[in-house]
Amino acid sequence: MTWATPALAIVAAAIAVPSLIILYFLKLRRRDVEISSTLLWKKAIQDLQANAPFQRLRRNLLLFLQLLVLAAAILALAQPQMMSQRTTGELKIFMIDRSASMNALDGQPDTTRAISRLDRAKELAIEEVDAMREAGLFGDQKADQAMVIAFDTTAVVVQQFTSDKDTLRTAIRSIRPGQGPSALGEAMQLAKSRKPPRILLDNAGQEGETGTPTQVEGLTAGPPQQIHIFSDGRLRDAAEVVPASEDSVFFHALGEQTARNVGITAVRAERSYENPVDLTVFASIESTDSIARDVDVELRVDGTPIATRRVSVPASAAPSAVTSDATSGQGEATRAHPAPGATGIAFPFQLPQGALVEVRLIAGDDANVLEADDRGYLIVPPARQTAVAIVSQNDIFLSAALSGMPLSRLDSLTPAQFEARLSDGTAAEYDVVLLDRYLPPASSSRGEPLPPGRWLVFGAVPTGRGGLIDEGDAGVATIIDARTEHPVLRPLTLDPLVIGKMRRVSIPEESNARSLADTADGPALIEMNGVEYRALIAPWNIEQSNWPFQVNFVIFLAAGVEYLASDSFSEEEAAGSTRQFRPGDILVDRLPLDAANVDVTHTPGGTPVSTTPTGDGRITFGPLEDVGVYRVRWTGSAGATDVTDAGRVSRFFASNIESSSESDVRRVEQLVLGSQTVTAEQGETRVEVRRLWPWLLLAALGIIMFEWFIYNRKVYV
């Protein structure tokens, strides 16, 4: 037990206790009154037997009770407090993981209570709030303050720093479960963002001179913070997260270390290259169980079951041998977490039309603590092949490269023939048009660099409003940098490409164009998007390069045609050209230019949320919160794969967890950060202050009531 203000209590006791006792020493002075008899006044005569101002202190129950009241009040004034095992600090940050794995129903494994990990995390966080230090009675000490952050793929500040415990409890209880993967980086950035940067003085100058202030990236100043992470430890970017050096990190691990779960970690569909009607749906399944599991996998098309197959998922791998933990820097022995058992399944069938495809796990009566990964959704477009036109005066390589592709139509046209099709509107029959050293006339472009459509341009430079700037010919060039993550460049390499005669171009700041591959003389491959057109541009003549003689050229043409023919209008949209997203992603798409009254709904049963397209029809929505199907609906024109019903057009998107780290719900005992390793069971000693003075005041009040009762009995009895 400790005392917050002992000096104040000692001073009060030195004054109050003697004063109370002196009052009982004093003898009452009475005036003389003649009476007929003293028989009834014996008690009063005792006070008249001496003239001294003080009397002998007698046994007195009232004095004893009053001393007890005074003692309780003085002890309360000293503010006694007891310590228990809780954390105390001036600033605390509670980071609560709300990702998909935190929905697992093993939050309190030592009991039979079915509670999610997130709910248990809230309970533990509220216990930490209850343990926060309050302000001193006379303002001689400050109260602890805390901030609440909820995170999954993204992070949000639920409550800024406050010492109001009721506000913190309400904020913690308001956190809703998510279904996205978990990442700690953004939450840690929020924790560090409130701290000022650390300024160091460069004193390398002459003696006596003031150093130059220098801000060091990544270093922060300000008071230390205690960061409490409530999670099962499945944080995919934990090794990249570096807390501020002055902050302390505490890891509260949730769930069971041996939790059993079977989940779908990937799902995709693929149409046959030769016959697009033939569709195969693939699903990857993983299990954390220590024994093999047999599960039924059901395939549904537009909600109707069409196939069910049983698959055996192997047991998780045996733990590896004990190894030294190099991350902690202390050589501690740790045991690697066994990898989950994994298998796959394929459903081949024929599906000419577009449909919503669902893969569903039926795990039977076996333990399965997480349900969100038991289903996977796919939006499958109708079977179709691409119509392509090549516009060239003298094509040598393009027709030969495209002839082996399963296109519905491949036409070779002269510029005059193509311009005639532009005039009568039949050019719209082609999904993608390749332009070889030729550009359509400006009269057909509506003031833009290219007419409406999808274009793959070779040996020409689209100029004009929003276009490129042609700076003339250059010499021999090779690729020095490329955006290899782009869907068109991802399957190939440009290192062997040698351009014999480069065309030097530049991209204006106001243009929507961007370079995909660069040479020393400027961009070699460019993507350019407008309101009604999309284009991939190689401004140099391919016949003056070695590209047509490489397999990479054929791969580029196939990837470029597929990219341009998709419903997407940008790289971000192409990444979801199969309309696949994960919780936490931003839904990006482009609607027809006349789309109006647009809303997005999570089906079934969700509430429509209105959104407004930009001038070029682009919409953004999110981040997506749930697994399932999202419907974008509008009034206006419909695309080739859209559904029209009662005058409204609908387009569907799928959202799946598809994360092996989230489906692996086994609790992690050590959280390995970029600068330290935090163990759930260890950490510095933490204390909770339990204040006793309110109880002492309550005891004093009770004694006063008892004294009043005794006094009244003495007077009236």
Q: What CATH number should be reported for the domain holding residue 391?
A: 3.40.50.880
Sign of CA pseudo-dihedral 402, 408, 411, 416: negative
Is 617 within the bounds of a domain?
A: yes
Same domain, 414 and 475: yes
Show which of 565, 595, 625 is a domain's final residue. 565
Same domain, 669 and 653: no
Residues 630, 556: contact at Cβ < 8 Å?
no
Supply the mean pLDDT for the chain: 81
d(CA 286, CA 302): 25
- Report which of 96, 101, 97 is spatially closest to residue 664, judged by C-alpha positions: 101
The identity of residue 591, as a single letter, is L
Give the pLDDT confidence score for residue 322 in this predicted structure.
Answer: 37
Is 571 within the bounds of a domain?
A: no
Same domain, 596 and 553: no
CATH number of the domain that 628 lies in? 2.60.40
Give the pLDDT confidence score for residue 339 in this predicted structure.
Answer: 86
Is 283 within the bounds of a domain?
A: no
Same domain, 481 and 467: yes
CATH number of the domain that 242 lies in? 3.40.50.410
Q: Coil, helix or strand for 192?
A: helix
Is 391 within the bounds of a domain?
A: yes
Same domain, 70 and 110: no
Is 201 within the bounds of a domain?
A: no
Give the pLDDT confidence score for residue 111 in this predicted structure.
Answer: 60
Same domain, 115 and 68: no
Is 16 within the bounds of a domain?
A: yes
Give the pLDDT confidence score for residue 50 in this predicted structure.
Answer: 46
Same domain, 490 and 629: no
Give the pLDDT confidence score for residue 285 in this predicted structure.
Answer: 94
Is 274 within the bounds of a domain?
A: no
Can you say how many angstroms the Cα of residue 421 is from the centroid of all Cα atoms in its chain?
Answer: 50
Same domain, 553 and 605: no
Torsion over CA of 534, 536, 540 and 544, rounded to 10 degrees? Answer: -130
- Which residues in the chain land under pLDDT 70? 1-5, 8-9, 16-17, 20-31, 37-66, 77-79, 81-89, 107-113, 136-141, 196-221, 318-337, 364-367, 443-446, 567-578, 640, 681-698, 700-717
d(CA 72, CA 78): 10
Same domain, 692 and 656: no
d(CA 582, CA 623): 9
Torsion over CA of 694, 700, 705 and 706, rounded to 10 degrees? Answer: 130
Same domain, 697 and 550: no
Same domain, 480 and 533: yes
Range of the domain at 628: 580-660
Tens-place pLDDT, residues 469-498:
999 999 999 999 999 888 899 888 999 999
Tens-place pLDDT, residues 73-86:
777 766 676 655 44
Q: Which helix (H) or strand (E) holds 45?
A: helix 42-47
Give the pLDDT confidence score for residue 570 in this predicted structure.
Answer: 44
Question: DSSP characters for 623-678?
Answer: ---SSEEEEEEEES---TT-EEETTEEEEEEEE----HHHH--PPPSEEE-SS-EE
Number of domains in the chain: 4
Is 425 within the bounds of a domain?
A: yes
d(CA 269, CA 252): 40
| 3-state helix vs strand vs coil in the chain, percent to 5 | 20, 30, 45
Residue 694: both structure tokens together: 């309110």
Same domain, 148 and 253: yes
